[in-house]
Amino acid sequence: MEKIRWKVEGMDCSNCALTIRKYLEKEDVQNIRVNFVDGDVAFDLNGSSSAQQIQKGIDALGYKVTGTLEADTAGVPVKKMNIHLKYTLICLPFTLVLLLHMVHDWIGWHWLMNPWIQFALCVPVYITGMSYFGKSAVKSLRNGIPNMNVLIALGATAAFAYSFTGTLLTLGEDYLFYETAATIITLVFFGNYLESASVQSTQKALQGLAKSQKTVANMIAFDEHHQEVIMPVDNKDLRSGDLVLIKNGELVPADCKILWGDASVNESIITGESLPREKHAKDMLIGGSLLVDGTVKAQVTAAAGDSALANIVTLVKQAQGEKPPVQQMADRISAIFVPAVIAIAVLTFIINYFVLQDFTSSLMRSIAVLVISCPCALGLATPAAIAVGLGRAARNGVLFRNAKSLELFKDIRQVVFDKTGTLTTGELTIDQFQTTNNTISEEELKRITYSLEKYSNHPIAKSVATAWKTCLSGRQAKNEIRWAKIEEIKGLGIKATSKEGDEYWAGSYKTATALTANNTHNVYIIKNNELIGWIDLKDDIRPEAKKVVNYLRNKGIITYLLSGDSKAKSEQLAAELGIDKVIAEQTPEQKLTVIESLTLQAPTAMIGDGINDAPALAKATIGISLSDASQIAIQTADVVLMNHGLKNLPLSLGLGKHTFITIRQNLFWAFCYNIVAIPIAALGFLNPMFGALAMGLSDVVLGINSGRLFVKKVI
């Protein structure tokens, strides 16, 4: 399938997004994501329709495909005047002059009372309004999904047609409401501009990330004499394998690996950690981070479009386009909102006409009902808060893969921690070891263990292999055992068979239960069903672990330690950190069963970093992984903590809770506004002109309330 990502202009509300979504569903495309907040439309073509055909279809709906979003430029706004501001500036002079007729006695401009002059002043505004609202209204009606512009077009047209009829029939100034039609159009344009400005402000954190992707790189090339030549190139032109020179004070142009040099690097753009990290040869640099001190030569490991930062921007934008469950009811109401308001407006006119016996007053009240109603508020309530919540999270080193996770955080009652690499640093060192067979020397035990553990990705195995590779002599390392067969059994260890037919194990106590009663060691080395040695390792506890556990306990959240390590070591760590319950010596399958059971009891978050944690992460209510975890754990998790540790776990929990609170506040405002405003307009307490202004400002209130999440204390 071909993946399509477009920037589409003209989407003002969730109804607009719904119109495009329904059209794409008719075209039978897959994985549709429509985000009206920033105009992103993404889907997968399955071959039945071409991209050109679908683009023409979207244009025919009244929207405009303005470009293709590449991963390295996603979210970077094009610098041009906002269309709503442009139309506001076009309409405003005519509208202001029209409004002066209300004070014509004060300024002496009696010619403003001439109905044909008022008509001439109103026509440019009306044509401008109908070119936007009218066209959009007709197309939305044609597609069976009436949007807010239907209400605006009906209200302005009713006022204009009524006034024009009075002008033609010379019925007098009581029939002239040109200023009402013009003011409705101008104020709605202005309100839409304020709304789009406030919504765009919710994107500023994500835009900051996106802008950090674009930089000039010092690419290292070689001339015919094999001399280095430094060439400035745009970082989007870099490819994996290219060499770059990065100097003091420069942005890292792409994900790369240091070949030469030392540097201090500020990775706050990704991790949220402002303190520089020391980097040396063979260390990785994240594209978009800042070289605070030093100069390095590095090799690009991922093109700009595939960098960690680009993937974060893409994932966050996808998450912003998703709808959590709380929005579903609002969407259902939005879908029937416009027809309902039109019906209310008609009833308002009929009832008022029979009560008041006044056509003009009845018409003005029905117009007020049309223009004060705001379906946009219902559609904007959730996306605005989601945009801010996800943007702030990304800026502080927390990556949410979907918007649903933000809402689910509010219900979390249990948090389950893996041990190694999650609560501990995972940087294990050998504490002590011993051979248990007199025929096996220490050097031979090291050689056997190294030959086994080098094939495992488990943190313990990698630490042992790294430590003993360096301490073995060159000849011993080269004489490692060549296995006829070797396999890693999750939750147990590494099992291998030599070419001579000997069977070896390097594994947990479960592999040695029949050979020893001592279950306190980390690794047991077995040859032909005989224990030949054991190894103990020590692992430092992450400095933030105790503080994070205390935070959870203070919030009334039950904490669990779920580990494949021995019960004694797990209980020791849990006691030191204050973790409530311990479930130790678990295989990946058993971990999955435990998480299933806990999730049935209460909403549960699981935090892990290893391959064996991936199934449990997927089964938990929310799976949380660390950025330095195995790739399968990162891909399975709903939330990734990008700060190389647990430090931002409280922030992710707090943002989830307060984003949902903000969504509820927004929806409460949206419902209350419409419930109160429509009866006020129907009873004649609100002029249509003020109704148009109130409608625009109602969305601004949502934008401002959502924007508070940028600075709101959430922990």
Instruction: Write the DSSP string, 602-651.
Output: S-EEEEE-SGGGHHHHHHSSEEEEETTS-HHHHHH-SEEE-SSSSTTHHH
Q: What is the pLDDT of residue 317?
A: 61
pLDDT over 90 percentage in the chain: 19
Quick one: average pLDDT of 685-704?
A: 77
Give the pLDDT band of residue 556 (cuts 50, 70, 90): very high
The CA distance from 427 to 459, in Å, is 8
Q: What is the pLDDT of residue 188?
A: 82
Q: What is the pLDDT of residue 269?
A: 59
Q: What is the pLDDT of residue 532?
A: 94
Q: Rounded to the nearest 10 degrees, how much is the dihedral formed by the CA atoms of 179, 182, 184, 190?
A: -130
The CA distance from 197 to 699, in Å, is 11
Residue 208 burial (CB count, 10 A): 14
Q: What is the pLDDT of residue 45?
A: 83
What are the φ and ψ backbone dihedral angles of 188, each rounded to 5 degrees?
Answer: -70, -40
Question: pTM of the prediction?
Answer: 0.62
Top pLDDT among 110 and 496 is at 496
**Edge-to-edge strands of the sheet including 429-435?**
429-435, 530-538, 523-527, 503-507, 493-498, 483-489
The answer to whether the beta carbons of residues 17 and 34 sit under 8 Å apart is yes
In angstroms, the first-to-last Cα distance of the chain is 43
Kindly report which listed range (61-65, 106-110, 262-266, 323-327) carries the lowest average pLDDT score.
323-327
For the segment 510-552, what is each residue's pLDDT rounded down to a tens digit? 899 999 998 888 899 999 999 999 999 887 888 889 999 999 9
Burial class of residue 696, CB neighbours in 10 A (0-12, 13-18, 19+): buried
Q: What is the pLDDT of residue 91?
A: 93
Q: What is the pLDDT of residue 74?
A: 40
The CA distance from 668 to 378, in Å, is 9
For the segment 68-110, what is each residue's pLDDT rounded down to a tens digit? 654 334 444 445 677 888 999 999 999 998 888 665 556 666 7
Which H or E run contains 498? strand 493-498
Q: What is the CATH number of domain 429-538?
A: 3.40.1110.10
Residue with the two structure tokens 């405009």: 64
CATH architecture classification, 398-425+541-647:
3-Layer(aba) Sandwich (3.40)
The CA distance from 204 to 512, in Å, is 56
Angle between helices 14-26 and 326-356 (to 10 degrees): 120
Residue 153 burial (CB count, 10 A): 24
Q: What is the pLDDT of residue 506?
A: 94
Residue with the two structure tokens 């002239």: 176
Q: What is the pLDDT of residue 497?
A: 94
Kindly report which listed range (69-83, 448-462, 559-573, 685-699) carries the lowest average pLDDT score.
69-83
For the segment 420-447, what is each residue's pLDDT rounded down to a tens digit? 778 887 677 888 999 998 888 888 899 8
Q: Do domains 214-306 and 398-425+541-647 have the same CATH topology?
A: no
Alpha helices for 481-534 (secondary structure H): none
Average pLDDT, the chain: 81
Q: What is the pLDDT of residue 75?
A: 41
The CA distance from 633 to 644, in Å, is 14
CA angle 557, 626, 538 (to 5 degrees): 90
Catalytic sites, residue numbers: 418
The CA distance from 128 to 648, in Å, is 50
* Strand partners for 497: 485, 503
Quick one: average pLDDT of 480-507?
A: 90
The answer to whether the beta carbons of residues 317 and 206 sit under 8 Å apart is yes
Give the pLDDT band of residue 32 (cuts 50, 70, 90): confident
Kindly report which listed range (105-119, 134-148, 315-329) carries the lowest average pLDDT score.
315-329
Residue with the two structure tokens 């399968």: 632
Top pLDDT among 102 and 658 is at 658
Task: Using DSSP, state whether 54 is helix, strand or coil.
Answer: helix
Rg of the Cα atoms in the chain? 33
The CA distance from 41 to 611, in Å, is 34
Is residue 452 predicted with pLDDT exceeding 60? Answer: yes
Quick one: average pLDDT of 156-174?
A: 85
Q: What is the pLDDT of residue 204?
A: 57
Q: What is the pLDDT of residue 14?
A: 64
Contacts of 382 (CB under 8 A, 6+ apart): 323, 324, 326, 327, 330, 663, 666, 667
Domain ranges of the chain: 214-306, 398-425+541-647, 429-538
The CA distance from 515 to 526, in Å, is 9
* Strand partners for 256: 285, 300
Residue with the two structure tokens 């070119």: 131
pLDDT over 70 percentage in the chain: 82
Q: What is the CATH number of domain 214-306?
A: 2.70.150.10
Two structure tokens written together for 546? 């105790």
Angle between helices 567-577 and 545-554 (to 10 degrees): 70
Kindly report which listed range (115-124, 400-409, 581-590, 678-687) carries the lowest average pLDDT score.
400-409
For the segment 57-66, what is each residue's pLDDT rounded down to a tens digit? 888 777 888 7
Kindly report which listed range (197-211, 329-343, 701-715) carries the lowest average pLDDT score.
197-211
Q: What is the pLDDT of residue 631?
A: 57
Q: What is the pLDDT of residue 711?
A: 82
Top pLDDT among 674 and 504 is at 504
The answer to whether the beta carbons of residues 389 and 202 sit under 8 Å apart is no
State the maximum Cα–Cα separation within the chain, in Å, rounded to a whole number: 118
Quick one: average pLDDT of 205-209?
A: 56
What per-residue string of b and e applies to 166-199 under the rule 16 or more CB within 10 Å gives b? bbeeeeeeebbbbbbbbbbbbbbbbbbbbbbebb
